[in-house]
A and B are shown apart, each in its own frame.
Chain A
Amino acid sequence: MSLKTETFLVNAGPQHPSTHGVFRMRFILDGEVIQDVEPVFGYLHRGIEKLSEGLTYSQDMVFTDRLDYLASMTNNEAYAVAVEKLAGIQVPERAEYLRVIMAELMRISSHLMGVGFLTNDIGAFLTPLLYMYREREKILDLFDMVCGQRLTYNYMRIGGVSQDIPDEFIPALKKFIDTLPKFIEEYEQLLKTNEILLIRTKNVGILTKEAAINYSTAGPVLRASGVKWDIRKAEPYSVYSRFNFEIPTGTKGDVYDRYRIKIEEMLQSIEIIKQAMAQLPQGDIMAKVPRVLRPPKGEAYGRIEGPKGELGFYLVSDGATNPYRLHIRPPSLLNLSPLRELAIGVKIADAMAIFGSIDICMGEVDR
């Protein structure tokens, strides 16, 4: 005679220490194994796309800061690239190099947070996270020196960047870049061969190549599944075609590969920054753009490779000072689409590890 069991519903609610932000998951559990998961989001919706139709193009830059609030520089750059494509503006050389340096520093900072919070979700009691925060603090000091803020920078403008770097920026950046590989090696020693980390992350949440492409994921999630696709190489924007760097790819697509990809990308970013610092020319930092911009009628889609994936802005203009329609392609939301397929059949602890490895930011998911 068999026992009659029933499944029960557990709500990992909007307030939870481990969901990065206000994200709700309704699990249907059978003992410890997940039968079904339903993600519910929208708790942080602020109506950015509609609000931006009421402001001019240069004023919309402040909204893009607040999308993925952990990687503001790349959001600004994506919007600037989209508007420049629409209006046909050419950005001067020095501004392009400064944009590259800022974007790569932002990528290092965001990946440090991503790896740190992954280890926090798995259970290491804040220790790797605080080590990585120390390096991120140095990056935030550099950003503070340039534009005055630590989180929402509003640094890039349509046609260039807003201010030139002060004199003490390059020596501080050089000092930081020289010491960073040693710290990354320390993190590797702490985490890469740790048996408990291996046993929690290997073969957990495997996303196959075909599934990753079908679910339109992008960024580290896609590259960890074995697809060699990076917009900086496939469709180079800005001056990325002048640097040589590699694109690390994973083999299996499990949580461990996604973590390794982030560490490798940080090392590649260090290479790009070194080359950009060596090639930095003198010149203007902003093109001649009218104070109130009226782009010609038309539409444009500008995209960049952000730390979390492909961030794209789709702009439709009808010749006025305000955009007619602004649509954002959020990488975090589309990277969450395979969550249901990955989470069915595993235990709750694994579901939290999978969720942490996709590395989302709720500001982007809900906009």
Chain B
Amino acid sequence: MKLNNYGEGIAKGMVVTMKNAIRAPITTQYPEKQLHISRRTRGNQLVWDKERCIACSMCARACPVGCITMATSRDENKKLKVDKMDYDAGVCIFCGLCVEACPQKCLYMASEYEKSVYSRNKLNFTKEDILMTEKSKPSGYYSPENEAKLPKQTLLVDGKTWDK
């Protein structure tokens, strides 16, 4: 093997560092420019579509940590309805097993990530808070129709680090 311990390796390394110094930086200046996140992201909250729900409690049974608490009862047509559905976003690990377990596909994960609160008890949501409205943004995890509506993800391999 060639003995090159007169500093050639160090010189080659310094050439590499200088080459990288000329490239554009890959940092995104966060609050001003925001990337498009994945269309299937498992975001910070659940979104519940009340009309399709049949109150089967499969989501509460599938959850590994027990963050969904459901109480159901039968109403006058002998159909199940939901009395109480408490979702604790502080315990939730965002694994998505509840979305997968729902047979009516009425539960979605949100595609938001900026939901910090100042005190921990604001993270306990009741069934009104997680109801699906126009403002809630369900993500495409396990639901192809939502996935088609969201913008495409910015990929670093395309050379983009922020959205124009």
Interface residues of A (CB under 8 A from B): 55, 58-60, 62-63, 127, 131, 134, 137-138, 141, 144-149, 152, 154, 162-163, 166, 168, 172, 175-176, 179, 186, 189-196, 198
Contacts and interface: CB of A to CB of B under 8 A. Distances in A.
Contacts of B93: 62, 152
Contacts of A127: 17
B100 A162 contact: yes
A192 B9 CA distance: 8
A176 B41 contact: no
B156 A62 contact: no
A194 B13 contact: yes
Contact of A168 (B9, B141, B152): B152
Contacts of A191: 13
A138 B17 contact: no
B67 interface: no
Contacts of B19: 186
Contact of A193 (B9, B40, B94): B9
Given A141-B157, A186-B16, A190-B17, A149 B152 contact: no
Contacts of A131: 20
Given A134-B156, A179-B157, A163 B142 contact: yes
Interface string B1-37: 0001101111011011101100000100000000001
B80 interface: no
21 contacts: A58-B97, A131-B20, A134-B26, A134-B156, A141-B155, A141-B156, A145-B39, A146-B40, A147-B40, A148-B38, A148-B40, A148-B139, A154-B96, A166-B39, A168-B152, A189-B12, A193-B8, A194-B10, A195-B7, A195-B9, A198-B5
Instruction: Choose among A60, A137, A193 the residue with the greatest number of B CB atoms under 10 Å from its CB.
Output: A193
A60 B38 CA distance: 25
Contacts of B5: 195, 198
Nearest to A180: B157
Given A146-B40, A148-B38, A148-B41, A196 B10 contact: yes
Interface of B: 4-5, 7-10, 12-13, 15-17, 19-20, 26, 37-42, 62, 64, 93-97, 100, 109, 139, 141-142, 147, 152-153, 155-158
Report whether over half of chain A's contact residues are helix, strand or loop; otherwise say mixed. Answer: helix
Contacts of A186: 16, 19
A238 B147 CA distance: 30
B45 to A, nearest CB: 14
A146 B10 CA distance: 41
Contacts of A137: 26, 156
B62 A141 contact: no
A175 B40 contact: no
B49 to A, nearest CB: 19
A131 B16 CA distance: 11
Across the A-B interface, the 9 shortest Cβ-Cβ residue pairs:
A193-B9, A144-B38, A148-B40, A148-B42, A59-B64, A190-B16, A194-B9, A138-B157, A190-B13
B157 A176 contact: yes
B8 to A, nearest CB: 7
A352 B94 CA distance: 36
Given A144-B41, A148-B40, A193 B16 contact: no
A55 B63 CA distance: 10
B108 to A, nearest CB: 12
B26 A189 contact: no
Contacts of B26: 134, 137
Nearest to A59: B64
B42 A149 contact: yes
Nearest to A147: B40
A79 to B, nearest CB: 14
B99 to A, nearest CB: 10
A59 B65 CA distance: 9
Contacts of A148: 38, 40-42, 96, 109, 139, 141
B30 to A, nearest CB: 15
A60 B39 CA distance: 26
B153 A141 contact: yes
A59 B64 CA distance: 6
Given A59-B97, A176-B157, 13 more contacts: A59-B64, A62-B95, A63-B64, A141-B38, A141-B153, A145-B40, A146-B40, A148-B139, A152-B93, A166-B39, A186-B19, A189-B12, A191-B13
Contacts of A62: 64, 93, 95, 97
Contacts of B13: 189-191, 194
A201 B38 CA distance: 41
Nearest to B23: A134
A146 B152 CA distance: 13
A179 B155 CA distance: 14
A353 B154 CA distance: 37
B25 to A, nearest CB: 10
B29 to A, nearest CB: 16
